[in-house]
Chains A and B, each alone.
Chain A
Amino acid sequence: MTHAQTSRRSFLMRGLIGGATVTVGIPLLDMFLDGNGEAFAATVGGGPLPTRFGTWFWGCGMIPSRWEPKQTGANYDLPPQLAPIKAIQQHVSVLSGFDVPLDGKGNLPHISGNTAVRTGAPAEAWQEIRAPTIDMLIADAIGGGTFFRLLNLSADQNAKTSYSFRNGSSMNAATPSVEALYEQIFGSDFHDPNKADFKPDPKYIARKSVLSAVGEQRRALLARAGAADRARLDQYFTSVRELESKLALQLQKPPPAEACVRPDRPASLPANADMTDTTTRRANHKLMAQLLAMALACNQTKVFNMTFSAAAADLRQAGETTGYHQTTHEEPIDRTIGYQPTVDRFATHSMEAWAEFVTELAAVKEGSGTLLDNCFVLAHSECSYAKNHDVSGIPVMIAGRAGGKIKAGIHVRGSGQAISRVGLTAQQIMGVSTDSWGLDAMQARQPISELLI
């Protein structure tokens, strides 16, 4: 930090504090927002409603014969495992039969399929992915101008359950609990966008100023670092700039958000709650979904990931020796019904949780419709039939209308096309400037036209 910058900042700070309870308008604050500052995104409040992007992940797929609709287009049929989405079917499109072409590569159980859907190329370990995950690409494009470029949540209380990566050694950890999520969004840093008056708190000025000073060490440090470290340091300094931008927003009056109501702090689950138990997991997931819906309505973020259950789902039913994942491999097919009954039950529970999630987004009124109408939520698993880790026909669903940019409530059959077309469609709808996505055999050039308006 140069001397000149210090004086300029402290001058402005003094001016502000001297003014006590002034309502600071955006033009004045633009003065603070030097190179690192950022204004609220134009789509946040006042203007057109923002379009949000999110992913919803569940582990261990489904049983194809019990999940895939037979009819395409609108009003598709609901096989037993999809029955839970009946009430929200008009909001949910089903994409079946989109494949991961392995192109001679191995199928690493529970990893190849997931990395392929999210990065556009299968990898044998998350640490070996060749491109960032799709949520990062979209957050890079649209995530600025909100407090959180990306909100990453996991319903299993494990911060390491995350499929959001900048690169193989940079995973975005998940917010692991309802309590942590509430604190993160609606804790002491939260400003109600609908409150009439706004007083910038000098503590944010000081915090931002401190971070600017940290950021100014960048050049000196990079000069001392070798090539391998330079990229990592750059990533660190990008994170510094990101936090500075967030603090800059704290100094502005947030634009109004009609649907935003600060929720009450939810009651905690019992400390010894068994989070692998499906019923407990669903309760926790639902609380997180409610907070997430309000975080979106309050313009705290435009991009999110929600993991209901990890790849190779750890879900169980309390008291049973064998969990969902093991059951997919072990349970014999009941010849009288033609499928694995316990696996069917777990898969159906996962779809019930998905329906609960979508219902929470649809419950928030926004503009002439709902929050869900302004979302593009991409739900997927890491395999189709988990018994043999099948990565062909990985189940995908899309909820919401992306602010009127996509059709909802239809079934599209992929007939073996690369599943990267889904990711390409999501990026193009969300405003990422790209005409292709995916690597090698997974390179896609055509979005899924059936979804487009």
Chain B
Amino acid sequence: MTFLSITRRVFAPKILAVIVPAMAAAAAFATANSGPSPNTGSPQGSIRRLTEAQYRAVIADVFGDDIRVVGRFEPDLRVDGLVAVGTSAVSVTPGGLDQYEELARGIAGQITDDAHRAKLVGCAPGVDDPDGAKCARAFFTRVGLMLYRRPLTPGETQLALATTLASARTLGSFDAGLAAALTGMLTSPDFLFRIDAPSAAGRSVGGYAKAVKLSFLLWNTAPDAQLLAAAGRGELDTQAGLTRQVDRLIASPRFTNGIRAFFSDFLLLDDMETLSKDQLLYPSFTSAVSSALREQTLRTITDLLVTRHGDYRDLFTTRRIAMTRELGPIYTVPVSAQGWTFHEFPEGDPRTGLLTQASLLALHSHPGRTSPTLRGKAIRETLLCEKIPSPPANVNFAVVQDVNNPTLKTTRARLQAHLNDEECASCHRLTDPIGLGLEKFDGAGQFRMTEHDEPIDTSGSFDKLAFRDAASLGELFHDSPAVASCLVSSVWRYATGRSIGSSDQPVVAALDARFRAQGYRVVDLMRSVALEPAFYAEPAMFPAPPKVAASATPRKAS
């Protein structure tokens, strides 16, 4: 990556604007887009490690949400902007396996304890079943289907049975033996990884693997019994059968979990859980507030996109926001209701649209102050799918960031000095104007009018169009073709767990065209992806990129 190369992960907006119909123009992508940049190569695996959220969801689905999952998980790897793509690159380290085994023992121990045994195991050794073999067989046949997302092979059932009985003898208890065998199942690769078994025909994945793809995309958890049964009957191999299940999954309240999981990944919202701010400078910003801000953004998104079946672009202009009492001080909004409610900011209020939500504003700031550069870089990279290079090594930032500079009082004035250096300017012209448009929100996302008693100027331009403040910047994002295209390509990368390769480009172009034609409805986009044959294609059908590599984790720049 050279310093000056700014690569778009998808394609430039101006190119996009003329691509109608997209399919006809698909061939043009090969030349218009230089393909995946060297730093955004795609892992080509067809095996994806469950994320922490998925692991937790599956345990809750199979055993109930009173089963506590206590322990640490191996950290995720973000590749090409998404943890979902990283799941195709990671394995399990020795330390990670220690953790998984410990988690598994904790879960299995609860399932076989006095409080849960009757309900979750439902049988025990008895006169008819002296060593409990029948009971164990029934348990693992039922639970194994849910945990491995396919029926166990006879060998696997036999193994679970043998492990149960041998461990029961070792430990002197049938329950302990059952827990040991269940621990093995929860530690095994068939549970921890999603492994796409091919169909007999070999052109697409098999029925159960289809069910897994579908369910993790739309619900962010393993398939339910109904979906597995449909897979077992071969229904997912027909368009009618597949459509029936896709529509059922989308109509379910659990579809919201799928949308939340996508936006959590897309907007890096999981990082809010570890975000901290200086308590002396931002006393309102506690870790509880940080969690609530993440929740606020997710609730605002699902309300607009799922509950109201809204237009994705309106996310950038909406004045309706989820609110809870805890966030009142951050937004200086009185909140009387208990729990979550919705608040509508008045027309003309600076709080308008996703860009002005305190989650993103705080996430892309320093612990003690704002950073227009970090904000602009993050917005370009996440919402516009661009890659902003890291700064060169030898930069003198002194003028830029001397917050006590007597003549350059505002961040804008200090950053302006930066632009006198052409090497810096090439990237900062991309990042800073967007970030400066958000300068009326401090490092914790709270509104302010001045910095060092100087009024803050939030005007600027985005893609050569002028804006005067955060709200009008949101309007430009609403109308930007790049914003919509980036969402489509991100959903596709999220769904497939890989970067966009040349075989993906016509698919993404077609999805993009349909997304526009259908009024930018994210629910419809998810449906299109779930019905897309390429989503179920054997990974081998996609040519491997030159090398497996990952983009660097977004760094704190200046």
- Chain A interface residues (CB < 8 Å from chain B): 1, 3, 6, 9-10, 13-14, 17, 106-112, 124-128, 149-150, 152, 158-160, 166, 168-173, 176, 180, 202-203, 205-207, 209-211, 213-214, 217, 221, 224-226, 228-229, 231-233, 235-236, 238-240, 242-243, 246, 272, 274-276, 312, 314, 316, 318-323, 325-326, 329-332, 387-391
Residue from A205, A228, A314, A329 in contact with B558 in the complex, judged by beta carbons closer than 8 Å: A329
| Interface of B, helix, strand, loop or mixed by DSSP | loop
Residue from B97, B177, B367 in contact with A240 in the complex, judged by beta carbons closer than 8 Å: B97
| Contact B180–A206 (Cβ < 8 Å) | yes
List residues of chain B with CB within 8 A of the CB of A209. 163, 166-167, 170, 180
- In this complex, what residue of B is CB-closest to A387? B396
Knowing A171-B77, A322-B401 are in contact, say whether A389-B394 is a contact too (CB < 8 A).
yes
- In this complex, what residue of B is CB-closest to A245? B94
- In this complex, what residue of B is CB-closest to A225? B47
| Contact A232–B90 (Cβ < 8 Å) | yes
Residue from B91, B177, B184, B190 in contact with A213 in the complex, judged by beta carbons closer than 8 Å: B184
List residues of chain B with CB within 8 A of the CB of A233. 47, 91, 189
Verify if B115 is at the interface (C-beta below 8 Å from A). Answer: no
Residue from B45, B95, B192, B556 in contact with A228 in the complex, judged by beta carbons closer than 8 Å: B45
Knowing A108-B390, A226-B45, A240-B97 are in contact, say whether A160-B556 is a contact too (CB < 8 A).
no
| Contact B167–A330 (Cβ < 8 Å) | no
Residue from A125, A207, A391 in contact with B552 in the complex, judged by beta carbons closer than 8 Å: A125
A-B contacts, 7 of them at CB < 8 A, read A127-B549, A150-B95, A211-B101, A225-B195, A235-B91, A312-B555, A330-B402
| Contact B91–A6 (Cβ < 8 Å) | no
Kindly provide the distance from the CB of B280 to the nearest chain A CB, expressed in whole angstroms: 4
Kindly provide the distance from the CB of B157 to the nearest chain A CB, expressed in whole angstroms: 13
Residue from B1, B189, B368, B403 in contact with A217 in the complex, judged by beta carbons closer than 8 Å: B189
List residues of chain A with CB within 8 A of the CB of B556. 312, 325
| Contact A206–B72 (Cβ < 8 Å) | no
- In this complex, what residue of B is CB-closest to A6? B162
| Contact A321–B276 (Cβ < 8 Å) | no
| Contact A224–B45 (Cβ < 8 Å) | no
The docked-state distance in angstroms from the alpha carbon of A453 to that of B352 is: 69
List residues of chain B with CB within 8 A of the CB of A17. 169-170, 172
- In this complex, what residue of A is CB-closest to B195? A224
The docked-state distance in angstroms from the alpha carbon of A322 to that of B397 is: 13
Q: Please report which residues of chain B, range 55-94, place their CB below 8 angstroms from some CB of chain A when the two chains form the complex.
A: 72, 74-75, 77, 79, 86, 89-94
Kindly provide the distance from the CB of B409 to the nearest chain A CB, expressed in whole angstroms: 14
The docked-state distance in angstroms from the alpha carbon of A35 to that of B96 is: 22
The docked-state distance in angstroms from the alpha carbon of A340 to that of B165 is: 69
| Contact A319–B278 (Cβ < 8 Å) | yes
- In this complex, what residue of A is CB-closest to B76? A160
The docked-state distance in angstroms from the alpha carbon of A169 to that of B398 is: 36
Residue from B91, B169, B539 in contact with A169 in the complex, judged by beta carbons closer than 8 Å: B91
List residues of chain B with CB within 8 A of the CB of A6. 162, 166
Residue from A109, A180, A272, A387 in contact with B287 in the complex, judged by beta carbons closer than 8 Å: A272
**0/1 interface trace, chain B 529-549, chain A, CB 8 Å (1 if under):** 000000000011000100011
| Contact B94–A242 (Cβ < 8 Å) | yes
Residue from B95, B367, B558 in contact with A152 in the complex, judged by beta carbons closer than 8 Å: B95
- In this complex, what residue of A is CB-closest to B72? A159
| Contact A242–B72 (Cβ < 8 Å) | no
- Chain B interface residues (CB < 8 Å from chain A): 1, 3, 39, 43-47, 72, 74-75, 77, 79, 86, 89-98, 101, 105, 159, 162-163, 165-167, 169-172, 176-177, 180-181, 183-184, 187-190, 192-193, 195, 197, 274, 276, 278-281, 286-287, 366-369, 390-398, 400-403, 539-540, 544, 548-553, 555-556, 558
- In this complex, what residue of A is CB-closest to B86? A169
List residues of chain A with CB within 8 A of the CB of B169. 10, 13-14, 17
Kindly provide the distance from the CB of A29 to the nearest chain B CB, expressed in whole angstroms: 15
The docked-state distance in angstroms from the alpha carbon of A326 to that of B557 is: 9
The docked-state distance in angstroms from the alpha carbon of A319 to that of B79 is: 35
| Contact B180–A207 (Cβ < 8 Å) | yes
The docked-state distance in angstroms from the alpha carbon of A232 to that of B548 is: 13
The docked-state distance in angstroms from the alpha carbon of A388 to that of B400 is: 15
- In this complex, what residue of A is CB-closest to B164? A210
List residues of chain B with CB within 8 A of the CB of A125. 39, 549-553
Kindly provide the distance from the CB of B557 to the nearest chain A CB, expressed in whole angstroms: 8
| Contact B398–A107 (Cβ < 8 Å) | no
Kindly provide the distance from the CB of B89 to the nearest chain A CB, expressed in whole angstroms: 4
List residues of chain B with CB within 8 A of the CB of A180. 72
List residues of chain A with CB within 8 A of the CB of B390. 108-109
| Contact B550–A169 (Cβ < 8 Å) | yes
Knowing A13-B166, A226-B540 are in contact, say whether A388-B395 is a contact too (CB < 8 A).
yes
List residues of chain B with CB within 8 A of the CB of A149. 94
Residue from B75, B98, B177, B367 in contact with A160 in the complex, judged by beta carbons closer than 8 Å: B75
Knowing A209-B167, A322-B403, A323-B368 are in contact, say whether A232-B91 is a contact too (CB < 8 A).
yes
| Contact B197–A224 (Cβ < 8 Å) | yes
| Contact A243–B184 (Cβ < 8 Å) | no
Kindly provide the distance from the CB of B392 to the nearest chain A CB, expressed in whole angstroms: 8
Knowing A6-B166, A10-B166, A10-B169 are in contact, say whether A326-B558 is a contact too (CB < 8 A).
yes
Kindly provide the distance from the CB of B123 to the nearest chain A CB, expressed in whole angstroms: 21
Kindly provide the distance from the CB of A58 to the nearest chain B CB, expressed in whole angstroms: 17
Kindly provide the distance from the CB of B204 to the nearest chain A CB, expressed in whole angstroms: 15
Interface contacts beyond A169-B91, A206-B176, A213-B163: sample of 7 additional A-B pairs, CB < 8 Å, sorted by A: A1-B159, A106-B3, A106-B393, A107-B392, A127-B77, A206-B167, A217-B189
Knowing A110-B555, A169-B550, A329-B398 are in contact, say whether A211-B280 is a contact too (CB < 8 A).
no
| Contact A320–B368 (Cβ < 8 Å) | yes
List residues of chain A with CB within 8 A of the CB of B72. 159, 173, 176, 180
Residue from A14, A127, A158, A232 in contact with B550 in the complex, judged by beta carbons closer than 8 Å: A127
- In this complex, what residue of A is CB-closest to B368? A321
| Contact A109–B393 (Cβ < 8 Å) | yes
The docked-state distance in angstroms from the alpha carbon of A321 to that of B189 is: 46
List residues of chain B with CB within 8 A of the CB of A314. 367
| Contact B401–A326 (Cβ < 8 Å) | yes
The docked-state distance in angstroms from the alpha carbon of A198 to that of B162 is: 29
Kindly provide the distance from the CB of A145 to the nearest chain B CB, expressed in whole angstroms: 14
Knowing A106-B3, A125-B39, A202-B170 are in contact, say whether A214-B187 is a contact too (CB < 8 A).
yes
List residues of chain B with CB within 8 A of the CB of A126. 552-553
Residue from B170, B279, B393 in contact with A272 in the complex, judged by beta carbons closer than 8 Å: B279
| Contact A128–B550 (Cβ < 8 Å) | yes
- In this complex, what residue of A is CB-closest to B556? A312
The docked-state distance in angstroms from the alpha carbon of A321 to that of B368 is: 4
List residues of chain A with CB within 8 A of the CB of B276. 274-276
Knowing A17-B172, A329-B558 are in contact, say whether A169-B89 is a contact too (CB < 8 A).
yes
The docked-state distance in angstroms from the alpha carbon of A345 to that of B501 is: 49
- In this complex, what residue of A is CB-closest to B105? A207
| Contact A124–B1 (Cβ < 8 Å) | yes
Kindly provide the distance from the CB of B85 to the nearest chain A CB, expressed in whole angstroms: 11
8 interchain residue pairs of minimum CB distance: A127-B550, A330-B401, A125-B552, A329-B397, A107-B393, A319-B280, A321-B368, A239-B97
| Contact B159–A213 (Cβ < 8 Å) | yes
List residues of chain B with CB within 8 A of the CB of A322. 366, 368-369, 401, 403
Knowing A207-B101, A210-B180 are in contact, say whether A329-B552 is a contact too (CB < 8 A).
no
- In this complex, what residue of A is CB-closest to B39? A125
- In this complex, what residue of A is CB-closest to B550? A127
The docked-state distance in angstroms from the alpha carbon of A74 to that of B287 is: 49
| Contact B95–A172 (Cβ < 8 Å) | yes
List residues of chain B with CB within 8 A of the CB of A206. 166-167, 170-171, 176-177, 180
| Contact A221–B189 (Cβ < 8 Å) | yes
Residue from B90, B92, B278, B539 in contact with A226 in the complex, judged by beta carbons closer than 8 Å: B539
The docked-state distance in angstroms from the alpha carbon of A217 to that of B205 is: 21
| Contact B93–A239 (Cβ < 8 Å) | yes
Kindly provide the distance from the CB of B455 to the nearest chain A CB, expressed in whole angstroms: 20
| Contact A329–B550 (Cβ < 8 Å) | no
The docked-state distance in angstroms from the alpha carbon of A311 to that of B324 is: 37
The docked-state distance in angstroms from the alpha carbon of A42 to that of B274 is: 42
Kindly provide the distance from the CB of A267 to the nearest chain B CB, expressed in whole angstroms: 20
